[in-house]
Structure 1
């Protein structure tokens, strides 16, 4: 940690150690006091006295039209071609956002922004991943209905999906499939579970990004608008976690609104109950029965 702070220009190595010992350094909102703790600033939000530490590494955001036969990894010990082999050399450590099978082609985001990667892959936000699957075997409405509802695979039941037939031609059916999960070979296994076989699979959209005529094997840098949109999507996980931390700090147990102690909140509720309330029709407040 002290090396990260030193490289970012926050303080010298020795001064950074003092900041850590004093509890002034946080990682994802949690104080870090142990010297020698190791973190990756591309995956964690590091702050000193509440101010985020800006990494010196430039962020890159690349959209690649991945071809078949190419691995979605940064490096392969067996020397097989990876998606990074399709890119020129960049002086930063890049990695794909999720993976596409070697036999699957289509849209793949490559970046060095770890925080964005974590947010985009978080299942809670159900980001659309749209595939075009060329399928052999009889594709009936009954089979599609089963897949839409979710189907049991060896690693559990899939979440509901959206499927629609785009065309039938020469014994093959082109099916648009929209899922939110990211299981290994999920689309292929889904169709196999209903007796069909995927002959070709291409991802055509991820969130709001599309291939939009980008040739297979080519790449482009994301625009600023696209980056900001992805950051808004990925930022949801951090804002929700921050909200939970604020609720815990304020003492909110989820049973009412606002902060304060339980006694203060109960007193506020009683005070609100004593105040006259307007009825649904905008008439004057109801008066208490003075005969009681």
Structure 2
């Protein structure tokens, strides 16, 4: 019986990063398996000696890592990377400490975008939720500078060709505004780099504010301050697992309304402390 798995899957599950990040590491020659440099698509067993930048990876089995998902309210000005060479603040600076696991971002938001960003300890869940195959909806509130005509909206719904392929908004809804600054809610089902901004740019229009307000059915929790996070309970975590065809959790910490309110209060206190310092 073949007990091997793809190297990317094992490393994602063990908290090294998302599959996309791991593939980049493999391509850069940063990962070794036993006595050779790893290659894309390589299959390994849990007993293999796997090293990233010379450091041995403690391989985790699927059963050993509890699946935890949190929602983070990202402010503008933070980057979605573990370490930034320019010294800018990163989203990981504010996340809760984990022992024996690692937070993996489910998608990205650029430095000038705020709003809902989810993290998980489960690399396979993160990978599937980001994969276009599953068509998980992302909804954004967008402030657009310029005169937006019905013709623009029709083109963006129908789709336009960008430098990395065809793209379109699944839904566009006007949300009001004044003068040359109009608000829209837009929905798409993939997360290409700066895709929302580039779609509007293709029509000669500029995005002056961008906030992600929904991922799947999960909306940005009311009362969650920027820089704060809250856990998803088992029901909501299982919604995402079922959405991407992963087995449901049979047991996980259950969060009551009081638990959630305590997490929101903790986030507000932490945010006030940062503003004073």
Q: Same fold (TM over 0.5)?
A: yes
Question: 1:221 aligned to 2:231?
Answer: yes
Q: Secondary structure at the match of 1:235?
A: coil
User: Where does the alignment leave 5 or more consecutive residues of structure 1 unmatched?
Assistant: 1-22, 239-292
Aligned length: 205
In structure 2, distance between residues paired with 1:41 and 1:84: 17
Question: 1:42 aligned to 2:13?
Answer: yes
Question: 1:183 aligned to 2:192?
Answer: yes
> Which of 109, 120, 123 is the equivalent residue of 2:129?
120
Q: Which residue is 1:172 aligned to?
A: 181
Q: Structure 1 runs of 4+ off > 6 angstroms?
A: 43-48
In structure 2, distance between residues paired with 1:145 and 1:41: 40
**Structure with greater Cα Rg:** 1
| TM-score under structure 1 length normalisation | 0.64
Question: 1:69 aligned to 2:47?
Answer: no
Q: Which has the higher contact order (CA 8 A, sep 6+)?
A: 2
What do you get for the CA RMSD once the two structures are aligned?
A: 2.8
In structure 1, distance between residues paired with 2:181 and 2:141: 12
In structure 1, distance between residues paired with 2:179 and 2:91: 32
CA deviations on 1:156-212 (whole Å, 9 max, x unpaired) are 221452111111224310011101121111111111111111000000000010013
In structure 2, distance between residues paired with 1:190 and 1:41: 31
Residue 147 of structure 1: CA displacement?
Answer: 0.2
**CA contact under 8 A between 1:71 and 1:83: conserved in structure 2?**
yes
**CA contact under 8 A between 2:131 and 2:190: conserved in structure 1?**
no
> Which of 232, 245, 259 is the equivalent residue of 1:235?
245
**CA contact under 8 A between 2:169 and 2:186: conserved in structure 1?**
no
In structure 1, distance between residues paired with 2:190 and 2:65: 30
In structure 2, distance between residues paired with 1:224 and 1:191: 37
